[in-house]
Structure 1
């Protein structure tokens, strides 16, 4: 009886990352959603800069919020969260997840690799888009009361915080996709639980509820993307910590169930 030679290939974190990066960049949906998010943020930001009227209703708005967050980013955020869901739930819909888990019997490294690849790609794309949008809009806002530069206090931090906030929202969606294993179900859960539920809770006349809502995902992400603090919003540090904890809970629950359930 011939004993087969041991395989020269070992499962390593780098190889799992490389595999997930290859899958991520080879899907058309990846580029469609990333480019859609960039186009929405850039297009809305430039439009706001081109149509801004000094002394109008937008004169007292934070310049970073005006061109990046309040309008275009809200639309781009939806694209990024859908992408996060597709990264995990999309594999269950096609059945590719079975091959991934057979190749990596430990299972959990697959989830961490997906999260790492998504985080790097989403943050890089969002930060580059936000930076370009800010600079393009400022060319149009030159000479107005909304003129600002990257070296002004809080500007670069708000641009980076905006990108980090949306990326972390996408990670929460990625975890939901792994938990529910359904693209439509995960999108519905994200819209209902992350976007709609805080608005419903905000109608309750309790100070404790209002204080807690400042640390819910979308509210915390909004606080990160402003050069000047909103009234009643969380500070940037606690808001970032809250978002990281929400993402950790989502991914942690997904990791536990990934080990316990069949593919």
Structure 2
């Protein structure tokens, strides 16, 4: 009787030294270290460093302060009771220079956005922050905080300095008088919102001359032209335009032919917000 043994299993082909072994699938990319992540705080800090490191920022802000303070001192020092300005609101009288200071802040707002397109710096900003929109919001936040703080302090100093000349006239007033402090804060708020409107125009048009021209033509000149039309509906609508709404915010007493401070603040905020929203849409959808 013979016993049958199973044949030994074939070892199969030798894979050889150069054969590749199955590799494990690559793991998802690890999150960048915390020190390299883009956060809102870091974007804000970056925009703040840009603002305070540029010479143009200092020139425009200091120019606005000098305009407001200088004109306020001139108005206070040359005022006489019973003159042609006796019916003008006290805050409006002392802050006449805000109209000139506003132009400086408008230029600053435009330079913060359109100026980066002119120099090419916007490419670096958007490369560092690929989401894009946080850059615009950070610029607006830094601008608004800086301008309101500086211009409110300037308004307080200007009012106090002008009252040193006006204390014995019919324009004598105090910060504790009804409406005075609110009008000073309203003046700073109006300057801030007008600057934000200009900042949005700069981001929307991406051109410094174009944005300045659009602001002067559309915000400052157009309402004056429309005011010549003999239509009551147009006259009522003009009261909600940016320049007219800004004027209503900076007065301690109601100005004839203007809206009250509440609707004025809402109207001016809508103008600035709409412009920034249009700029955000353009920034998100258009190439740099």
Q: TM > 0.5 between the two?
A: yes
Q: Quote the residue 1:210 is aligned against.
A: 235
**Higher relative contact order, chain-length normalized (CA < 8 Å, sep 6+):** 1
Matched residues in 1 for 2:165 and 2:262: separation?
Answer: 32
- 1:53 is paired with a residue of what secondary structure? coil
* Equivalent in the alignment of 1:86: 111
Verify: 1:180 aligned to 2:205, yes or no. yes
- Cα distance in 2 for partners of 1:135, 1:178 equals 37
- For each residue in 1:54-110, what CA deviation from the matched residue of structure 2 results, as whole angstroms up to 9, or x when unmatched? 111111111111110xx3011001001110000000000000000000111110000
Match of 1:191 among 206, 210, 216: 216
- Please state how far the C-alpha of 1:219 moved relative to its aligned partner: 0.3
Match of 1:29 in 2: 56
The answer for unaligned runs of 5 or more in structure 1 is none
Unaligned runs of 5+ in 2: 1-25
Map of 2:88 onto structure 1: 61
Alignment of 1:89-104 (within 5 A): 89-104=114-129
- Indicate the residue corresponding to 2:17 in structure 1: none
Residue deviations 1:171-215 (CA, integer Å, cap 9, x gap): 000000001111111000000000000000001111111111111
> What is the DSSP-based 3-state SS (H/G/I as helix, E as strand, rest coil) of the residue aligned with 1:204?
coil
Partner of 1:138: 163
**What is the TM-score of this pair, normalised by structure 1?**
0.97
* 1:230 is the counterpart of 2:255: yes
**What is the aligned partner in structure 1 of residue 270 from structure 2?**
245
Deviation at 1:6, TM superposition (A): 4.6
Q: Which residue of 1 aligns with 2:77?
A: 50
* Deviation digits for residues 201-246 of structure 1 (CA, Å, limit 9, x no counterpart): 0011111111111110000000000011111201100000001100
Matched residues, number: 261
Residue matched to 1:41: 68
Q: Give 2:18's aligned residue.
A: none
Q: Secondary structure at the match of 2:263?
A: helix
2:148 maps to what in 1?
A: 123
Secondary structure of 2:240's counterpart equals coil
Q: Deviations over 1:127-174 (max 9, x none)?
A: 011110000000111111100000101100000001100110000000
Larger Rg over CA atoms: 2
1:147 match: secondary structure: coil
Indicate the SS of the match to 2:32. Answer: coil
- Measure how far apart 1:7 and its partner are: 2.7
Q: What is the distance in 2 between the residues matched to 1:144 and 1:206?
A: 40
**Separation in 2, partners of 1:7, 1:247:** 36
Deviation at 1:11, TM superposition (A): 1.1
1:5 shift after superposition: 6.5
